Chains A and B, each alone.
Chain A
């Protein structure tokens, strides 16, 4: 049980996919215009991640090594299709707000990355908890970014007006496309400061892995990226 708790802590805090590893930047930028959208996206990614970790871990001895990435992609794509239809059936407004980004969970770095680096090498229980941890970490990240953007951009939290419009003029740019880039830029800068402080304390944080620094060594698609170093 201890190992499972360790996976949860690892996913939510130590290697938080949004704040520390900086994975899955496309959905992070695209769907965080409000906290509720971020929460919805995070939770649907969590569902896919937990189920894909479960299946991949269960089949890890059957899937031949040479075709493992295509096999992972088929598993993930099937799960994403199921989640997409469930959302269309039970959460219509959220499904409409997230639109094309729901099927695009298939190409989210985090999912293939966890499949490749954890689930394909570990037993079922730790893999499930790894999925829950990483998924909740992603959810927390998206929700926090969504909260900030919603607060500045509309004066609302989860759709409820908290800053009265009588004195607060919403900075609309925050809920539009440029606001996503701006908030993420300040997040990256803030993490740079924290990273430096932790280094000085002798407890270095995990390095960002993936899109953000143009290096995808741990993102599960590393095979395709080996030529990237020169670029």
Chain B
């Protein structure tokens, strides 16, 4: 239990996925203009990363690193990058179809963000980190959920700041993306303060 809690806090705030690991920068810069859309994107990311960590952990344990195959001398773990990217792409498509059919209200709020997530490097990044750190299935799911919550926190905070920046007088060259990156740098400094926690 204590270990899971440490993984969760570590992935959500200490090693924040955007602000210290630089994964998922695209949506972080692109979809953070309004708090509502940012929260929608964050919600969709939480959903997809949690699910994909679970599925990729299952695939790793029972297919790629299958014990019987291992004993026969067949090691499939080298296929993980290829398998994961395809599984994630299919999974996102499948989730989109399922939500559209079965849960229209949820699809309304998350649907438009789902296709954007397929190639979000955070999803593949988390799946690969779970392998590198040798997490089991439960740990992988917790790590995925916490990482995604970290993304949610970062993008919603950023959207809040950006809504205020709109009204400020910013030097010409810094208008647009540059000031957003400066904001991200300041947020990143703030998040470094968590590094003593674990």
Contact = CB atoms under 8 A, between A and B. Distances in A.
Interface of A: 25-26, 29-30, 70, 73-74, 77-78, 80-81, 84-85, 99-100, 103-104, 106-107, 109, 112, 173, 176-182, 184-186, 188-190, 192-193, 210-216, 221, 223-228, 230-231
Contacts, number: 147
Interface residues of B, number: 51
Given A77-B81, A176-B192, A227 B26 contact: no
Nearest to A225: B116
The 9 closest A-B pairs by CB, nearest first: A214-B30, A185-B181, A181-B185, A211-B26, A224-B115, A30-B22, A178-B188, A77-B82, A189-B173
Interface of B is mostly: helix
Contact of A189 (B23, B29, B178, B188): B178
B185 A213 contact: no
B25 A29 contact: yes
Most buried by A among B23, B26, B33: B26
B119 A224 contact: yes
Contact of B125 (A25, A104, A176, A184): A104
A155 to B, nearest CB: 21
6 contacts: A26-B25, A77-B82, A100-B128, A100-B129, A185-B178, A231-B112
Nearest to A82: B78
A182 B182 contact: yes
Contacts of A106: 81, 85, 124
Contacts of B173: 189-190, 192-193
Contacts of B79: 81
- Tell me what chain A mostly uses at the interface: helix, strand, loop, or mixed: helix
Contact of A192 (B119, B120, B124, B178): B178
Contacts of B179: 185
A63 B21 CA distance: 35
Contacts of B25: 25-26, 29, 211
